[in-house]
Every structure is written in C-alpha cells, then in structure tokens.
Structure 1
C-alpha cells in the first residue's frame, strides 16, 4: 500500500498499474461485504468483550438474563459469533491478493507490502495497549507476513497450506497447549477485577489493567492464529480464481454456494450451540470441530450471498449504503473501539457490566448507523478514510492526495492505493 512526492516529475507510464483505483473501478461488492461484516464484528464485540470481561465467557454463566436477552444472545451465537471475524479474515486475504497483483510490475513489490503490514502492526499495537485489548490488527499483520510467502506460489500450495492449517486448528484442543490459558480461578479473578476497573476506573486505571490483561489474552490469539492464516489463504485463492472479479457472470454459481453453505453452516452451528441456549445432546469432543466447520462454511456462504446480491440491480440499490462504510473499514473499526470504550469504561459513561445483551446491541446498531451516515458524508469529500490515508501514506513514504477532486498533475506524481 516508493514513488515521487508532490511537486516532482510525473511518474513514468509503467507506474500506471500502481495508481489508486477510482471509486468506479473498485469492486463494490467487496466494499459492501466489508461494510456488512463490520456490523457483525461490532455486534459481537459490543455484547461480549466491551460489555463484560472476555474471561466471563469461559466461566459458568451467572448473568441473570431475561427471555429477550436469551433469545438475542442465542441468535447472535448461531448466526454471527465468530462468523464476523472469519468473514473479515477472508476479506483481508482478498485485499492482500489484490495488492500483490496490482504491484506485479513493481520491483519493490515485496518491500511495499512488508511496509504495509509493518504499519498495520504499529497501528494495531497502539490500538491494543492504548484503546482496547480485543484488537485483531496485530494478529492480522503477523498472519499477513506468513501469507506473503505463499502469494507468488501455485494455487495448490496455497490450498494445501490452508487445509493443513485448518486441520491443525480444529485438532488443537486434543493437543497440549503451546501457551496455556489462565486457570478457572485466575479467570474468575480477572473477570471480577475487570468489572471493577473498567466500570469505575479512570483512563490510567483502565490502561494499567488492560496492559495486565494482554498476556492472559495472548493464548487465545495463539489458538486462532492457524485459522486466521488459513482464511487469509482462502480469501487470496478466491481472488485468484477469478470468481470475485467476474461476479456478475458467476451469479448463479455464487447463489448456489451461498444457499448450500448457509444451510450447512447454519445446521452445524446450531448443532454445536452452547448448552445454555439449546438442550440438545452433547457432541463431546466433536463439538469444537463441528462448530468451527460451521463457522468457516457459513462465512463463505455469507460472502457468496452478498457478492451475488450486489451484482443484481435490486441488490446493488438495497446494499449500496454499506459500500462507503467498507471503504473506510479501518477507520470505522478503530472508531468503534474509541466509542465503545467511552460508553462502557469508567472514564466515560461507565456502563461495563451493567447492561443486558439487547440494550447493548441497540447501542451498537445506533453506533453503526451513525458510521454509515458519516462514511457517506466523508467520502463525498475525501478519497480515503483518515486512517486509510495514514496507512497508505506511510506505506509509500509520501503523503497521499486525500481530497475527492485533486489536481491531475499531483495524481500523476504520487502513488496511492
């Protein structure tokens, strides 16, 4: 995500493939899908890790939830939980493959892509420690470094690596943990302290406790890292297959994939749902395998459904509102963390541990709708979201033109994404 700076001589013609896509050249379906996925991510983050301690999710459920909260939680568990992050991982893999392809004629392609990931890693570390320790950007940056090794290789190697990593991920519960999770007593203590500090503490109290929590949360990232890399590879494969760039011609295939995957994935997710919601016979050790298979399959179904729908005239009109949000997904993801921190932590409204699932989800919907409106307003004036602009400028080493209408000479003299 080097070139000339503002005021330098125009870039040679060979640089044309590295110039930014205009809005008309962008794949609207991917922007829409990213915008929809951002709602799913916000919905799960706000009702779980922002509302209560992450470690409370691993402890016996002692929360007194009303019938409506139980229904909403059950729907989120089956239809959204983990699917949102899998969908974002697939999309990150698609984006990485697009960048790799668009820089094909550049001798510094790998340097630029490594720099892009280093900037992502730096922003992720700031987010992790100063804003919210539920960050996924650090993990995505590290997974991106692994995937870069495969992008220039044959498809069979990428597919084989993805299957191997998914197999490793689903069998990890049967193996000795590389980095063990805290014990039940430590989790209970962390959850109790989180309720006190996050709910009533000032900014520096929250900061100190957040930093203490990071090592305890680290094993969770180790556990899901193989799945993240695998989904990146699957996303990259989806792009290289040509189905996404020719989505309009492949609508029938995409609808078949969407229907089959959503039905199969939904059935698997339902059968593996937590016992507090559904009194079904336990699957024992197979539950994790069934649940994770459902997550991946259903995520692919969601992606196929949205991409196919956007390539229908009615679908484009119905879902087009999500495209600006998706074009600013990086900015909006970080903004969600800042906003939710202010709502739930003691230095803001201090609602941590005080709200039910339904009320919290309603707040999340309000935040999301506000971001939809803001993103559309911003992109009528600017080419990128503010964080996207920073990311691209750091990647290329020169400030990128950000105004929606810029001097053509400047456009020729700079390189952006």
Structure 2
C-alpha cells in the first residue's frame, strides 16, 4: 500500500539528490564553462576590427603566442564540449524518474527548452552579450527530443550529417571568394593589355577590392565602436541591436544550427556509450587523450599557420588552396581535441588526483547556467561604458588576466554557494518555471557532511 509520504514524493518535483548527480559530467561541464570564457573575452573587451591585427601582425610576440595556444588547444573545443554535454543532458532529463504527476516527459522537456530560448533572448538583448549561446541551444534543443531513443550509431551518423552540411556550406563560401578573386585577376590582366572594361568587369574588380578592404582594420569603425561601447546602456543597446539580430537570425541559420546540433547529437551518443559517466576503463580514456591530441594539435598548428598566411595575403591564400583548410578540418580538430580533453579530465577524475580542483570544477558545472550569465554580467561591467568602461584599453593577451580572475572567483563562489543552496540561482528559477511550482532552494541545516558533499558533488 502506498503511504502518503511516498505519494507526495511521487507527485512533488524535488531537487536531484547530490548522490544522484553524475559528478564526472559536472566536472567536465565546469571545465567547458570556464574554458568558454577564453574565447568570449576578446569580444567583450576589444573592437572586432583590431582583433586580427593584434593576433597576427607580430609573430612571436605575446599576443601572437597567446592566440596560437588558445586557437590550437581551446578555441571551439570548449563550446564543443558544452554542446556535447547539453546533448547528454537531454538523455539524462528524459530518463529520470522524478517528474511530477500529470506532467509528461515531453511537457517538462519542452517547457525547459522554451524557457531557455527566452533566457537566451534576455542574455543577448538585455544583458547585451552578442556571443550568447543559450538562444541557439534552445532552438536546437527543440529538435532533439524525437532522437533521444536512437542507438549511438545513428546519433553518430546524424552528427556526421550535420558536420557534412557545415563543410559543404563552407566550401561554397570559399569557392564564391575564389570566383571573385579569379574574376578580379582577369580584369587586372585586361587592364595591363590596355583594354576597355565592361560595366560587369568594373563591378568584378570592385567586388574583390571590397573584400580586401573589409579584411583590413578600419580605424574610423574601430573608434566608433570604442566610443559606442564606452557609452551608457541605451547607446550600447542600440549599437549591438543590429549585430544581435544578425547573429540570432542569418548566422544562426547558416552556421550555428548545424554546428550546435551536430555536437549535441555527438554528446547524446557519447553519453550512451558511457564516455561521460566513467564507464570506460582508464586505458580507454588514455587512448582518447593520445589519439585526440595526436591528431588535433598538429592539425591545429598547421591550420594556424595557414590562417596567418590568409591574414597577411588573402589573395595568395585563395590562389594556393582549392579547399579551405580551416573549414575542411574545423570539426575534425574540434572533436579530436574535445575528446582528448575529456580523456585527460576523466583520467584525473578516476585516479582521484586533484580532488580539491575537481570538486570546485564540479560545483562550477552544477551551476553552469548561473555561471555563464554571471560571466556576461562581470565582463560587461568591466568593459562597457555603464560599468568601468575598459573596452579597448587592454591588449589581447592582457584580457586573459581578467579570465584568470573570473575563474578564481567562480571556483570559490560556486563551492561556497552550494554549501547552503540546492541549486544556483538561475538553475532554481529555471526549474521552478519549468514545473510552474516553487522548488526547494535553501538547505535548511547544512551539516558538516552536507558541506563536504556539496563541494565535491
């Protein structure tokens, strides 16, 4: 016979018990969340028009070397990890047994996803982060539910199809550029022969000259961007409005959708294969580390050299390549390096090394939503005009001092917060909105055992 207590438990949504959390996933998510800031910080702190010059113009200096390390080891790889873990979370959410009576799993899943879409809109259009990923994750998440029961091999196939679409689209864009370049060279040859140009040939010449011009820093645009972003909130909002609109519409359609959902499919497959949950033996994770880094690092170094060539002379870069090295190898580099990172993290985790660090990273990962938005708030306060107004004042490598400071703060803050609360503040709000019922939040009497477990869980 069912007791009232058991009935209440079955009908009332409750926090996920700390013992029920998969700690290894929280640790990996914590690494990914902190790592994402390395890629985001340049767009918080510097005008886009000078980023290329700072990163490439002086090989061997601090900016160049910093960019080289970030690009080879982390750029795109942390977001890939974060996207994979979102896919893993789809499986976790839809297989739990703790949902309230009267709500189907589809109800709960789509409520969560639709709230995430709204949070993404707020992050972009209210908090003014143009690199927001919550909106993209929410839109892609709308498509994932029907795929949750597929076998890993079919999820891997779906992932490959998405990556194939990205490669195909990138190839088309590259060939379009090559076409403009070839048309321009034909016009130059005609000019050398003193032949009169048709209107179309003049347009062909202008089209390539526009490409070259747009690839160089425009000091007036840089100064305008600095002036606008160092202004008050209304000016910053108006400046970023068209940028946000473009990113969340055409860029989302052309690139982000296939990028994000492809990694989510891969994450769903890897979760089912036990990669994120520690089911593999240590030698399996060692193989992931060696193969992932063995492919990803040399390939990343080669592409970085080619990208430097493209920055220095884009025309020569197009002339010397039929296929774009960056786009053709992008997802290979991301996946191999991301899996290498997972292998390293899981070896450390399963070996019991650095428990103080993995415990803090798990806390960051458990509060990933709150910490992600917190990074937006901290960085906009530091750099934008309605805060400290430091936009454009630091050079590229100096931005990573800010990254280190934010990391230290979030590692400590997350561990302390979870001593007293079940969730991060945004995780609590998200869950309460999903169930349309206020969720337990504060741990009433955290004893010493709870405090320790909250740091480690």
Give the TM-score normalised by the residue count of structure 2: 0.78
Residues 79 and 267 (structure 1), Cα distance of their counterparts in 2 relative to 1, 3 Å cut: same
Residues 89 and 190 of structure 1, relative CA distance in 2, 3 Å threshold: farther
Match of 2:64 in 1: 70
Instruction: State the secondary structure of the residue aligned to 1:24.
Output: helix
Alpha-carbon distance in 1 for matches of 2:80, 2:237: 28
SS at the partner of 1:311?
helix
Instruction: Say whether residues 1:390 and 2:439 are aligned partners.
Output: no
**Match for 1:85 among 67, 76, 79?**
79
Structure-1 separation of matches of 2:51 and 2:354: 37
Give runs of aligned pairs for residues 142-161 of structure 1, distance below 5 A.
142-161=139-158
How far 1:72 moved relative to its partner?
A: 1.1
Equivalent in 214, 238, 244 of residue 244 of structure 2: 214
- Is the counterpart of residue 122 in structure 1 residue 118 in structure 2? yes
1:34-113 alignment runs, 5 A limit: 34-46=29-41, 48-54=42-48, 67-103=61-97, 108-113=104-109
Q: Which has the higher helix share?
A: 2
Q: 1:162 to 1:115 in 2, by over 3 A?
A: same
Distance 1:88 1:21 in 2: 21
How far does residue 19 in structure 1 lie from its aligned partner after superposition? 4.5
Instruction: Find the structure with the greater CA-based Rg.
Output: 2
Aligned match of 1:167 = 164
Residues 274 and 136 of structure 1: CA distance in aligned 2, closer, same or farther (over 3 Å): farther
Alignment of structure 1 residues 1-400 onto 2, 5 Å: 10=5, 12=7, 15=10, 19-46=14-41, 48-54=42-48, 67-103=61-97, 108-131=104-127, 132-175=129-172, 192-198=223-229, 200-218=230-248, 219-222=250-253, 223-245=255-277, 247=278, 250-275=281-306, 285-287=323-325, 288-400=327-439
Please state how far the C-alpha of 1:22 moved relative to its aligned partner. 1.9
Q: Could you say what secondary structure the match of 2:398 adopts? A: helix
SS in 2 for 1:175: helix
Q: 1:171 Cα deviation (Å)?
A: 1.7
Please say if residues 90 and 234 of structure 1, whose CA atoms lie closer than 8 Å, have aligned partners that are also in contact.
yes
SS of the aligned residue for 2:397 comes to helix
Contact persistence 2:84–2:264 (CA under 8 A): yes
The 8 Å contact of residues 169 and 224 in structure 1, kept in 2 or not, is answered as no
- The residue aligned with 2:207 is none
The structure, 1 or 2, with the larger RCO (C-alpha pairs under 8 Å, 6+ apart) is 1
CA distance in 1, matches of 2:282, 2:406: 32
Distance 1:405 1:330, change over 3 A: same
Q: Note the C-alpha offset of 1:388.
A: 0.4
CA deviation profile, 1:106-150 (whole Å, cap 9, x unmatched) = 760011000000111111100110111211000000111111121
**Mapped partners of 1:360, 1:266: distance in 2:** 24
Judged with a 3 Å threshold, the aligned counterparts in structure 2 of structure 1 residues 401 and 14 are, in CA distance, closer, same or farther, namely: closer
Given that residues 15 and 422 in structure 2 are in contact (C-alpha distance below 8 angstroms), is that contact kept between their aligned partners in structure 1?
no
Distance across 2 between alignment mates of 1:297 and 1:168:
19
C-alpha distance in structure 2 between counterparts of 1:89 and 1:83, whole Å:
10
Contact 1:258 1:301 in 2 (8 A): yes
Q: Once the 2 structures are TM-superposed, how far is the Cα of residue 244 of structure 1 from its aligned partner? A: 3.2
TM-score of the superposed pair, with normalisation by structure 1:
0.85
Partners of 2:342 and 2:154 in 1: how far apart? 23
Give unmatched runs, 5+ long, in structure 2. Answer: 178-209, 447-457
Q: Which moved more, 1:154-163 or 1:276-285?
A: 276-285
* Cα distance change on mapping 1:376 and 1:278 into 2, 3 Å: farther
Structure 1 residue runs of 5 or longer lacking an equivalent are 1-8, 408-417
117 and 220 in structure 1: CA distance in 2 versus 1, 3 angstrom threshold = same
Q: How many residues align?
A: 392
Aligned-residue RMSD, C-alpha:
3.1
Q: Deviations over 1:282-314 (max 9, x none)?
A: 655241212331112111221232123211122
Aligned mates of 1:323, 1:60 — CA distance in 2: 35
